Amino acid sequence: MSLDAAWALDWARRAALLAAENRAQLTELDRAIGDADHGDNLERGMKAVVAKLDAAQRAGGVPASPGGVLKLVATTLMATVGGAGGPLLGTAFLKAARSSDASAWGTQELVRALEEATSGLEARGHATSGDKTMADAWRPAAMAAKEAAEIGEDEIGVLAAAVQAAAKGAQDTEPLQARLGRASFLGERSCGHRDPGAQSSALILQAAADAARDHSSDPFLVVEQA
Ligand code: ADP
Ligand code: MG
């Protein structure tokens, strides 16, 4: 299998759903070590993304490649989400979009996209692992994806590995002292709380994996099982 524009569209729509479902939780995380707007920011941004996709579909102008879809996601997030989170996430999506112009992505393109997204947001935020930011979800995800591809996992396996690593990365931000962003103003008081951006990044990758699993349904397999 490989992942085409329909997968990327589904990824964006699922990410919007997860953002809406988890809005309150993300905002609570941001209330503890930030300014209590992360869930609202992400939900607003992803709602705007879905509106853009709907308009493109009505006009018959949906991008024909994963890169095209992700570019639309990126530019919409950058235009609609203020604060630190929006531009950083937008950068991640933009770098992923630019990592390949293929009409369908295999594991190699996926690994490259995750690596580029991660390096892009790290560079934009001057973030490194352990700073207690969204990079603490993206970096382990990119590394796990690469390892999964190297041992021959398919796209679903690569994304599953990325999701698991991102979720663990988000959890592992809890004891850390924030070195960047608003949370860093709290110093030691930022310890003991999960970083909201790392948590939302894990959800966004979860949406990518769920979409891939959905797109893998092979009609011949269904016939065999019947
Ligand atoms: P704001 O901090 O402006 O209110 P959000 O609440 O939407 O923006 O996003 C906060 C998240 O942004 C943090 O949880 C963290 O993951 C991420 N973040 C903040 N600053 C940086 C940075 N310099 N590099 C990487 N990520 C960052
Ligand atoms: Mg905030």
Is the CB of 52 within 6 Å of ligand 1?
Answer: no
How open is the CA angle 115-112-173, to the nearest 5 degrees? 25
pLDDT digits (tens, 9 = 90+) for 23-64: 999 999 999 999 999 999 999 999 999 999 999 999 989 999
Rounded alpha-carbon distances, angstroms, from residue 186 to 19, 32, 116, 213: 26, 10, 30, 40
pTM as predicted: 0.95
Q: Which of 133, 179, 184 has most ligand 1 atoms within 8 Å of CB, for mutation?
A: 133
pLDDT digits (tens, 9 = 90+) for 134-180: 999 999 999 999 999 999 999 999 999 999 999 999 999 999 999 99
Q: Which of 29, 88, 172, 199 has most ligand 1 atoms within 8 Å of CB, for mutation?
A: 88
Residue 220 has a pLDDT of 52
What is the C-alpha separation between 70 and 19, in angstroms, rounded?
A: 17
> Measuring from atom 11 of ligand 1, which residue has the nearest CA?
197
pLDDT digits (tens, 9 = 90+) for 189-220: 989 999 999 999 999 999 999 999 998 765 45
Is the CB of 90 within 6 Å of ligand 1?
Answer: no
Nearest residue to 123 (alpha-carbon basis) of 139, 112, 104, 106: 139
User: Given the structure tokens 């995380």, which residue do they identify?
Assistant: 29
